[in-house]
Amino acid sequence: MQIGVNTWVWTSPLNDDEVRHMTAHVRALGFDWIELPIETPGEFDYARAADTIRAHGLGVSVCAAMGPDRDLIHPDEPIRANGVAYVRHCIDAAQTLGATNVVGPLYSAVGRTWQATPDERERDLELLVSHLRGLAAYADARGVVLCVEPLNRFETSFLNTTAQAIELIDRVSHPACRLLLDTFHMNIEERSLGDAIRAAGRRVQHIHACENDRGAPGSGHVPWDDVA
178-193: pLDDT as tens digits: 999 999 999 999 999 9
Environment class of residue 183 by beta-carbon count within 10 Å: exposed (0-12), middle (13-18) or buried (19+)? buried
The arrangement of strands across the sheet holding 101-104 comes to: 4-6, 33-38, 59-64, 101-104, 145-148, 177-182, 204-208
| pLDDT on residue 179 | 98
Q: How far are the Cα atoms of 75, 131, 150, 184, 223 from residue 208, in angstroms, in the given order?
A: 30, 24, 11, 8, 14
Global pTM reads 0.96
| pLDDT on residue 109 | 97
List the one residue out of 66, 71, 104, 64 whose CA is nearest residue 208. Answer: 104
Q: How far are the Cα atoms of 11, 87, 151, 159 from residue 117, in angstroms, in the given order?
A: 39, 27, 20, 15
| DSSP one-letter string for 15-57 | -HHHHHHHHHHHHHTT-SEEEEEESSTTSS-HHHHHHHHHHTT
End-to-end CA distance of the chain: 12
Asked if residues 100 and 91 have their Cβ atoms less than 8 Å apart, the reply is no
Please compute the mean of the pLDDT values over residues 14-39 and round it to a whole number. 98
86-122: pLDDT as tens digits: 999 999 999 999 999 999 999 999 999 999 999 999 9
| pLDDT on residue 174 | 98
29-79: pLDDT as tens digits: 999 999 999 999 999 999 999 999 999 999 999 999 999 999 999 999 999
Asked if residues 153 and 189 have their Cβ atoms less than 8 Å apart, the reply is yes
132-163: pLDDT as tens digits: 999 999 999 999 999 999 999 999 999 999 99
- For residue 219, what pLDDT band results from cuts at 50, 70 and 90? very high
